[in-house]
Amino acid sequence: MSVQKHAEKFSAPRKDRNGRIQLVALSLPEMQDVLGEHKLPNFRSKQIWNWIYQRGVTTFDAMANLPKDLRNILAEQYVIDRPDLVTEQISADGTIKWLLGMSDGQQVEMVFIPTPKRGTLCVSSQVGCTLTCKFCHTGTQPLVRNLGAHEILQQVMFAKDYLKEWPSSGEKEGRDLTNIVMMGMGEPLYNYENVAKALKICMHPDGLGISKRHITLSTSGVVPQIEKCGEELGVNLAISLHAPNDAIRSEIMPINNKYPLADLLNACRSYPGVSAMRRITFEYVMLDGVNDSDENARQLAKILVDIPCKINLIPFNAWEKSGFVCSPMARIESFASILESAGYEAPIRRPRGRDILAACGQLKSESQRKKIGQETGD
Ligand code: SAH
Ligand code: SF4
């Protein structure tokens, strides 16, 4: 397949079902270019940008400071919609999981995790994933396609609608959505251009205005893209590490064969802006008998010694036929205490939304889940 065909096959449609052009995720200069075709002065684009990102409107009709005939023209040719809500599940712990449908029918999951101090939105970057980390449910769904920048941004806008966080929503004080983590379905650094485009508008003061300090991108370790991510976006970096040496890591994460630990840790050491104040987060899933021995903890403490970091220990979230079991809590605690005595912060992540399969690594398109179910007779 040619490079062009490959890119087309995995890219997102830019028009909706009615052939209207999506305005969400166009940068301001791009919007000026597009609307320039209608001979609109630049200030009109700025007005429309504000309506979209600051007020959260989804129709041109609501754009009160635009002339009526212009609103009609825009509505015929352009669109500023949201993904369709396919299903919503609310966990006993308050975590919400939405299955969202895109204009071509593809689906992704998004999760909102409220805590007393913050509200974290876990956003997807791809439908499926090309990487096949052995412990990850998402990894069993082959990549269908990348999400477009608009589809990534629309997930955040969908959550803002739901949480009534636009000024026009009125009745609510304060914000619930404080943090964004690119930790949903897919590998964000394999869809870097679209992720970057969406996050730039998320962070833009005239966009959604969410500070880069409150945005974290998680990667399984796509080394060549890490520096660019730090330089261009400056968001917090989380690394799915999960092993203290190449032998174990390659066994459970095939990407390690391409980008081994030494290269990954070097990229972390030189991540732009990393400091004791802005540490890297290493995620470490606790797999019984695989990566959870005291010796593994000591080795981990050793390899991370010169990287300002914190280690998140994640109890493995089980899914059927994974072949893995979560380490017993006593083992996780012993692992944590070795890291702590070596001077690391190593909190044990409390699983959220497990009852609705919304926890880390459990996300999957519902259609895919059904398909696998049919194939395996589940
Ligand atoms: N592809 C990116 C973003 C997904 S983040 C990445 O891998 O970093 C999802 C996080 O959950 C990753 O750290 C992933 O390794 C972890 N994870 C995957 N499956 C899991 C499971 N079954 N239990 C706990 N954590 C899991
Ligand atoms: Fe993909 Fe991340 Fe899951 Fe690995 S852990 S299969 S990179 S989503």
Task: Compare 38 and 354 and report the one with higher pLDDT.
Answer: 38
Query: Residue 170 corresponds to which amino acid?
Result: G
Mean pLDDT of the 82-109 span:
94
Question: Residue 374's pLDDT is what?
Answer: 40
Whether ligand 1 lies within 6 angstroms of the CB of 135 is answered as: yes
Mutate which of 108, 123, 129, 364 for ligand 2 pocket (most atoms within 8 A of beta carbon): 129
**Quick one: how far is CA 48 from the chain centroid?**
26
C-alpha closest to that of 282 among 325, 240, 250, 227: 240
Question: Residue 171's pLDDT is what?
Answer: 65
230 touches 212 (CB < 8 A) = no
| Mean pLDDT, the chain, whole residue set | 90
Mean pLDDT of the 7-19 span:
75
The yes-or-no verdict on residue 139 having pLDDT over 90 is: no
Facing residues of 218 across strands?
A: 238
189 touches 60 (CB < 8 A) = no
The yes-or-no verdict on residue 378 having pLDDT over 50 is: no
Q: How far is residue 189's CA from residue 168's CA, in Å, rounded to a whole number?
A: 35
Question: Residue 372's pLDDT is what?
Answer: 41
For the ranges 28-37, 110-119, 261-270, 357-366, the lowest mean pLDDT is seen at: 357-366
| Atom 8 (ligand 2) nearest CA | 186
How far is the centre of ligand 2, averaged over its atoms, from the C-alpha of 184 (Å)? 9
Question: Residue 239's pLDDT is what?
Answer: 98
**Number of Cβ atoms within 10 Å of the Cβ of 266:** 13
Q: How far is residue 302's CA from residue 296's CA, in Å, rounded to a whole number?
A: 10
CB neighbour list of residue 238: distance below 8 Å, 6 or more residues apart: 181, 183, 216, 217, 218, 219, 280, 281, 282, 283, 312
Whether ligand 1 lies within 6 angstroms of the CB of 316 is answered as: yes
Percent of the chain with pLDDT over 70: 91
How far is the centre of ligand 2, averaged over its atoms, from the C-alpha of 167 (Å)? 36
Question: Residue 376's pLDDT is what?
Answer: 34
How far is the centre of ligand 1, averaged over its atoms, from the C-alpha of 133 (Å)? 8
Phi, psi for residue 315 in degrees, rounded to 5 = -60, 130
CB neighbour list of residue 288: distance below 8 Å, 6 or more residues apart: 316, 324, 325, 326, 327, 328, 331
Question: Residue 141's pLDDT is what?
Answer: 80
| Atom 6 (ligand 2) nearest CA | 139
What does 173-184 look like in DSSP terms, one character per residue?
A: -S-S--EEEE-S
Closest atom of ligand 2 to CA, residue 187 = 7
Catalytic center residues: 109, 360
Facing residues of 99 across strands?
A: 87, 109
Mean pLDDT of the 185-189 span:
96
Could you report the per-residue pLDDT of 214-232, keeping only the tens digit for each? 999 999 999 999 999 999 9
Whether ligand 1 lies within 6 angstroms of the CB of 219 is answered as: yes
Mean pLDDT of the 305-320 span:
94
211 touches 203 (CB < 8 A) = yes
How far is the centre of ligand 2, averaged over its atoms, from the C-alpha of 164 (Å)? 31
Pocket (CB within 6 angstroms of ligand 2): 129, 131-133, 136, 138-139, 186-187, 220, 240, 361
Place of tokens 């692992």: 335
Name all domains of the chain by residue range, CATH numbers in brackets: 25-79 (1.10.150.530), 84-356 (3.20.20.70)
Mean pLDDT of the 245-272 span:
97
